Amino acid sequence: MSRAFVKENDLEHAGIDIPERSISDEINYVTPNGLKSLQETVTKLESDRAKLLGDDNPAPKEKKMRIEREIRYYLSRIDSAIIIYPDQQPTDIVLFSANVEVENFDGKILTFMIVGEDEANIKLSKISYVSPLAKALIGAKIDDEVIWHKPSGNEQLIITGITYPNI
């Protein structure tokens, strides 16, 4: 193809193919802290992008495009966010934003917080409300037994505590 028929913008990004991040089809429930985290992420990304403005080298240009993709993703998540306030949840049932204490068959006590997809972090014991564990827990009350369907096999859990953080 002759260069005469190629837009300059097309040449600028030639060879750089950065697909958009997929967005979940699930309802975007978030805790107030989850929304704050999304907003802080956008602020940091915008700062990172500003540092790259004016640098026309290919590597920074690709990095800038990746940052812009992330900004679009997080702005979309902020735009679709439905905030669930923990202090407005009934305290006797496991729902979104609950801290749930469970005891497994071995007597080990585990605690999980049920949060939105973007806020989930198993290292912090924050699980997405669409995860198999959260689905097993939601709707349960203290002393209820639930079955956690895991790839390694089902595990029986007993709900021993339900709290909601004060935000």
CB 100 within 8 A of CB 161: yes
pLDDT digits (tens, 9 = 90+) for 65-119: 999 999 999 999 999 999 999 999 999 999 999 999 999 999 999 999 999 999 9
pLDDT at 52: 85
In the chain, where are the structural domains located? 25-83, 86-163
pLDDT at 146: 97
Classified by CATH at the fold level, domain 25-83 comes out as: Helix Hairpins (1.10.287)
Q: Can you tell me whether residue 101 is helix, strand or coil? A: strand
The predicted model scores a pTM of 0.83
Nearest Cα to 96, choosing from 159, 34, 37?
34
The CATH architecture assigned to 86-163 reads Roll (3.10)
